[in-house]
Amino acid sequence: MKKTCSVRTLWASVFVVLTFCSACQKAVDGRKVFLQSEVAVHQVKSFRAHIKTEGLGSTVTDAEYDCGQFLAHYVELHEQQNATIERIDTAGLRYVHNPDGSWTSVRDLVPESVCGRIRDGGQWIGQERYFSADQGRIIPPFFFYANEQEAVITKTGSETLDGVECEVWNVKDRQWSRSLHTVWIGAADRLPRKYVEYGQDSLLGTVTYSDYGQHMEIEVPTKP
C-alpha cells in the first residue's frame, strides 16, 4: 500500500509540475518536455529495444518487453567471448536457455526491471549508474532530471529516425563538462527513440527503441 501511494504521489506531482511549466519561460522548456516524456513512457505496454552496452567487453542485446504481463525476452551477444545468451524474465523468475535446448529457471534478483521502471516512473533509480538490458536504467530517467537542479537540459537539433521526427535533447550536470545523456524524443508522441548515456570517463550504452504498442510473442517456458 505504501508503494502504491508513493506512485500516486509521483504522478500527481508530475501533473502539478506540467501545469506550472505551461507558464514557464523558454529556458525551462526542456524540463517540461522531459515530464511529458515521463507521462508518455508510463503509458507504454510493449516495445522493442536494441541495446549496446560497454564495459569489460561490449554486449549487444535485442530485447522485447510485454509490460502488460511483466515479461521480457532477451538475446544477448557478448562480443569478446563470442557467446550468445537467450533468456526470458517474468515478474519473479529468470529462464535461461541452455545449449541442449532446455531452460533453467532462477530467481530474478534485478533491483529494478524495465517494466518496473515504467510502472513506477523511475523514482527508485536516482543516481545509480547501472546500465544493462535488464535494468530500468535503459529508459531515460526523465522525471529525475526534470527535477534535478544541477541538470542542464538543452535541445541541440532535430533528426528523423526510422521515419519518426525527433527532437535531440542533451543533458549535462553543471559540475561536468561532458554530456551525461543524449535523448532523441518523438516530436509527436514524446516517446524516446534513441538514448545515449555516458559515465564519467566513457560511453556506458546506446539504446534504440521501436514497435511501441505492438504485440510481443513471448512464450514463458513450462516448468519440467
Q: How large a percentage of the chain has pLDDT more than 90?
A: 48
Grid cell 508503494 is found at 3
Residue 28, pLDDT score:
42
If DSSP codes are grouped into helix, strand and coil, which group holds residue 38?
A: helix
End-to-end CA, the chain: 35
Q: Note whether 20 and 43 are within 8 A (CB).
A: no
Going by C-beta distance under 8 Å and a sequence separation of 6 or more, which residues neighbour residue 88? 71, 72, 73, 74, 94, 95, 103, 218, 219, 220, 221
Task: Kindly state the DSSP code that residue 115 receives in the 8-state scheme.
Answer: H
pTM higher than the cut 0.85: no
Q: How large a percentage of the chain has pLDDT more than 70?
A: 76
The string over 186-221, giving b where at least 16 C-beta atoms fall within 10 Å of a residue's C-beta and e elsewhere, is beeebbbbbbbbbeeeeebbbbbbeebeeebebeee
Residue 98, pLDDT score:
92
Q: Note whether 96 and 85 are within 8 A (CB).
A: yes
Cα angle 164, 171, 189 (rounded to 5 degrees) comes to 25
Extents of the domains making up the chain? 2-210
- Angle between the 2-21 and 29-42 helix axes, to the nearest 10 degrees? 140
Residue 82, pLDDT score:
79
pLDDT digits 0-9 by tens, 39-62: 999 999 999 999 998 766 688 999
Count Cβ atoms below 10 Å from residue 155 Cβ, excluding itself. 13
Class of domain 2-210 (CATH, top level): mainly beta
How does residue 109 score in pLDDT terms, banded at 50, 70 and 90?
Answer: low
